[in-house]
A and B are shown apart, each in its own frame.
Chain A
Amino acid sequence: MSTIYALALERSRTRILLLAVGFGLFELVVGLSYASVDQNAIRQLVDALPPALRALAGSADIASPTGYAGSGYLHPVALAIQGAVAISMAAAPAREAEDGTAELVLARPIPPARWLAAHGLAMATGLAIVVAGGFLGGLAAALTVDDLSPVDAAPLAGALIAGFLCFLAVGGVALLVSSLVRAGGRAIGWASAFLLISYALDYLAQVWSIAEPLGPLSIFHYLDPPAILGRGSIGIEDVIALGGLALATSLTALVLIQHRDLTP
């Protein structure tokens, strides 16, 4: 299992490192930009925005230091970076089934569930490295910009852990699809669709009262970094919901792969 895990990480190392650096730089830039803004002007601007646009920044006051720093982790760029690493690495088993490397590996005495679990662990590791990049970027900004001094390392880590769990759940869904299909493109497509629908559902639930009851069905309902930075800790319900989805989808994938054809 360690060999497959190492191989999966080795094959994705450039992508992981680039995304980690990119995420870190993005959060650093977001944080540094706070020094140049007028908090009152932002507040007036946000108040003037329609609810549909205000919903994009989450529930917190983005004019506050914690709200502003937290909104950087809800920005579509941040979400896309984390989604890219989770989905692409969790779709690797389907890609390997397609290009024939899975046949080469699974004709050796390796249980398919162990092979899939190794890919899942590699995905979690890659995601953790990328999230750590985002954490370091945000922390560097908080230490550099005086106005961001209310942003402490511990709540920042909590916000990043929430993001990690959220995209671990996305990776779990991608792993589940990977156990069912033998084409990398299809696995990436289905997992991306899940991510986009989930995002749209959360957005709609915030701006449209009729859709509000559907909000808890979205993973983004449980991801609110500005709120975590504001109150200083991550909500246990959010941890259970996101971690539970990641665990449930991954375990289902491990069971399903035992009963599937491994090659065409």
Chain B
Amino acid sequence: MAVIEKEQLEQQISEKDYKALVLRLKRFEFRMRIQEMVRILPFAFLIGGGTSLAVALYSRVIPSFTVEQALIIAESTLLIFLVSSICYALFRPRTILDTAKRADRMLGLKERTSTALEGYNSPKKLDYVIMGVRQFQDAKTILEETKLRKAFPLRVEKKSGLFALALIPLLALALFLPNSAALLAKENEALGQQVDKEAQKIEGLKNQIKEEAKKYNLSESDPKLQELLKQLDTAKKDIQDNKFNREQTLASIDKANQELSKLGDTNQAAQKAAFESLANDLKKYDSTRAAGNALSQSNDPSRFDNAADQLQKVAANIDKLKNDPAQAQTLADSLAQNAKNFENSDKAMADALNKSAQQLSSDNLKQNPAGAQQALRDLANQTQQAGKNQQFQEQLQQAQSQLQKSEQAISNAGKQNQDGTNVNSKPGTQAQDFGNQEDLGQLGDSSQNGDTSTDGQQQASQQQGQEQQGSQGNQSKQSGNGQTQGDGQGDKQAVGDGSNGQGNQQGQGQGKGVGQDTQNSNQGQGQGKGAGKGSVDNVYQSPTKRNGNGTQQNLRGKNGDGPTQSTNTNNGGAAGNTQVPYTQVIEDYSRAASEALDKNNVPITLKDIIKQYFDDLNNRS
């Protein structure tokens, strides 16, 4: 007969025994977590890999991700699932009692350890005083006898492991097999980035226009200025809304450009030329030289204000002119002549000039110097007013120019040529770009002084380029890689006189290239002549087609002598390069165009236009 004492029981289950039991359970816990990690890792890999595979397949069907993006998504997904499962297995909070229950369940210990823990901690609740010692020892013994490695083997489940392994080549194939949708996605990405960049530029321009308006006392509430800012805003918003749709983006820019064109002053170029002429004339006379100098500072936006100030000073010192009747008369004649220049572009300015000319004539000046003074003041005011208009027009030009650049950049963004290189980054083509559109426009303006607008030759540059194309090395091959390199120089000149405007611009480009046909491992080199491609289109431009803004218009020539204007551009190359006559360039280009047309490289619909274009050029030369 056994008599069991509670105190005896308590003494028998010492704290040391309990700690030993807990320590053993903690070892079990660590091993169980490792085992769980090993068990769930293949599943995590399957889920992560499956998701990645789905993304990769999706990107093959729908142009959503580039290969790089799909790879990043796949890697991230896999990593997330693997790390999550490792964290879940290793760091999921679990009490020692939970561990005991888990050990009971996994090892079939029939609740021995959990009962021992609960019994030790709540002996009264479990009536643990009678059978407690035996139960505790039973649990402790069975735990000590359990071999950890045998009880919790670290084995990957065969089925899930095989599936996970099978997923790797599938994923690799889905990611790295040639994928047209991914290329398209890349193009879209480049397009989106370009659109963002252009939107930023437009925003920058908008702010710049606002600042300049403040700086030069242009009223912000001016409806034209408001409209300009509004159109820029709209353009920016529209291109951002359709950032992955090239056609719609370009259409938005076109639309904005058209709206801006409505704000443009068609006489602005003529007015500008007239001011330049006026500036030159004013510089000839001592009394108005300062005003002429101020007005001729073409890069100074405040030149009109300065010129107006100077004219005010001339008015204030009218006595000087009064004392020099010869100079006054010559000045009056010159002003009268200049008034004619403004007749078509700025009637108010023409009137002010005429009035000043009249008041400064020798007779009137003597009799009524105050009238001459007032006339000069009016002229100053009118100059200031015209300056504001010029200022706005310049801003408008800036905006249009920016939109055109954006249009071009977006148009080319992400486009791949046959070599797989970006159109914009082709080195040989950049070398062939001579001059820019703004220069062309200004040169075109000078033609108004000739008899007809077409008399002014405003071809901005002549280009001659030589290209060695990879395809020429072995033209029978279906595909080839070509690299072109080139350098070039350009020189533009335009001269106009009263009756006939003349312009002469010359440019030269040279290109070299090495071609390699990767398909048949053949290498070939060849030389060919042909029209080089430039990132800036419209290199050749008819004066009848574009004005200084680059917008389309027909210019009217004017009979009589006109000022001579000569502009040298700074984008020429080093001295000593060969200069090729314009006629020869036209000939070369015409031949290259004909060859291209024969090779069916040009869409049928454009063939006639190209042919007509070169025919026109030939006729003019």
B is bound to A: no
Residues of chain B having any CB pair with chain A under 8 Å: none
Residues of chain A having any CB pair with chain B under 8 Å: none
